Amino acid sequence: MASRASKRSLLAFLMAVIVAIACMLVLAIQVPSVAAIRSDSRDSKRFGIGEAFDEDEDEDDDDWDFMDDDAILGLSQQQNNGDSSDTEVSKEICVDSLPIELLDDDYCDCADGSDEPNTSACSHVLLDSETPPFGRQFKCKADDKLVSLAFVNDAVCDCCDGSDEKAGLCSNTCKSEWNGRFKTLQERLKAVQGGRSVRKGYMIKAVDKVQQLHGDFERLAEAYQAGQRAFEDLQRRAQHNPELRGQLEQSYNVLRRVQYVTYVQSRVVDQSTFSDAAWKPAFVELVGQCFTYTVDEKELKGGTPNVIPRKYDMVFCPFQNVSQTEPSYPKWTKAERQTKVGVSADDENEKEEEIPHPIGLGIWNEWQDSVGFVRVQSYNHGEPCANGQERHTRVNLSCGVKNRVDSVEEREMCEYEIHFETPAVCEGPEEDALQNEISQVKSLLKAVGSRSEGHEEL
């Protein structure tokens, strides 16, 4: 029979676990099952569970470990102390060493293409060059559209007035293109204005939501610490009582799960997530929500050896994690076998496949540099691929009236990219830019004396 002290320790541990689970429910955090840590992992040594089980495993300290207590509860951040200095490298331009008669003679003399700025002779060089030594763009006469010189005189009409090609090759399509552009801009402007209206509501609630997240995290951290103390007490008793081994292992798995949630939440309440820039608080509205996007295997990878393409559910939980599930896997395996080898789908003796556990594609890491009006996030430390590389996901967030996943793609092996629309991105600068572009298109249409149907205000 357990002693009174043992009962008190067990009761304390159970209470800590109950509090932790309650905090997890309050936070509405989805943790993929891939996050569950086995008791035979190297992290079990830090809790001493290996000693209780008389295990002796080598520990690799070079592996990334998000379970460091100081990092979790102290919110410590590693500083990059590496010296980085930008040095300007002077580049000699080939054209400077050529006689004038070789300039624009429709023959590519220079490896950098600098001798043919106004012909397409060096188009193969211009297409591969991301940082040309000087501007290499052709300006269309009708609307000042810029076209790479690689596409000048290539028998493809890039300018609506055909000014990038020889006379007579292209017909003038400027009116129809500008009318189409005007309609597209008007629709986009309407979406941005609608998104800005929703975003105002997000901002009104943002301060209270951020404070609530901090309060939830403090309670979660306290529950984790209490659970850890109770576990350590149980661990000491298990060293002298083998009957407690099963209870110790179960307690360890629960504690590790709480620890994982505590780590993720520590990243969420970090100042850099919502509080160090004026545009960030609106995004706190997304915390606790998850969005699912079903993608076909061919769409995701561009091809598949399977007769019947598989379908995946990509689950994006902003500021938490990205995961991949395959709920239709049992049906797919049966249909694939039937197609390949003729196995009957009604075979009663056939064992139905289980649904695979979710695959982690990354947990919340940080904001990255914006691209135009698009905000960018990174989610790192997902499950390793077959080559050992950790999966990671880049999320591009653009303005939209509703929160939704627009598309998902696997750019390279283990590298995913999600395009997500949300009102949280809709801000004034994008609306102003659209208004300016609409005014420019109006001027172009007015200059050619064209009025599109449905736009009588022009």
Out of 13-17, 36-40, 50-54, pick the least confident: 36-40
Tokens of 413: 């092996």
- 222 pLDDT more than 70: yes
Average pLDDT score over residue span 106-129: 71
CA distances from 246 to 21, 226, 234, 249 (A): 21, 20, 11, 5
User: How far is Cα 135 from Cα 311, in angstroms, rounded to an integer?
Assistant: 45
Average pLDDT score over residue span 170-184: 93
Q: What is the pLDDT of residue 150?
A: 74
- 25 pLDDT more than 90: no
Q: What is the pLDDT of residue 183?
A: 96
> How many residues are there in the chain?
458
Work out the pLDDT band at 305, boundaries 50, 70, 90: low
pLDDT digits (tens, 9 = 90+) for 401-455: 999 999 998 888 889 999 999 999 999 999 999 999 999 999 999 887 744 444 4
**275: exposed, middle or buried (C-beta count within 10 Å: 0-12, 13-18, 19+)?**
middle
User: How far is Cα 160 from Cα 93, in angstroms, rounded to an integer?
Assistant: 33
DSSP string, 115-172: T-TTSSTTHHHHHH-SS-SS--EEEPTTT--EEEGGGTTSS---STT-TTS-TTSS--
User: How far is Cα 307 from Cα 297, in angstroms, rounded to an integer?
Assistant: 11
Q: What is the pLDDT of residue 142?
A: 87
Q: What is the pTM of this model?
A: 0.69
pLDDT digits (tens, 9 = 90+) for 64-97: 444 444 444 443 343 344 444 443 434 567 878 8
Percent of the chain at pLDDT above 90? 38
Q: What is the pLDDT of residue 121?
A: 72
- 296 pLDDT more than 70: yes
User: Which amino acid makes up residue 112?
Assistant: D
- 270 pLDDT more than 90: yes
Q: What is the mean pLDDT of the chain?
A: 77
How would you list the strands of the sheet with 321-325, edge to edge?
A: 291-296, 311-317, 321-325, 359-371, 374-380, 392-399, 415-422, 404-412
Q: What is the pLDDT of residue 77?
A: 40
Q: In this predicted model, which residue has the larger pLDDT, 243 or 281?
A: 281
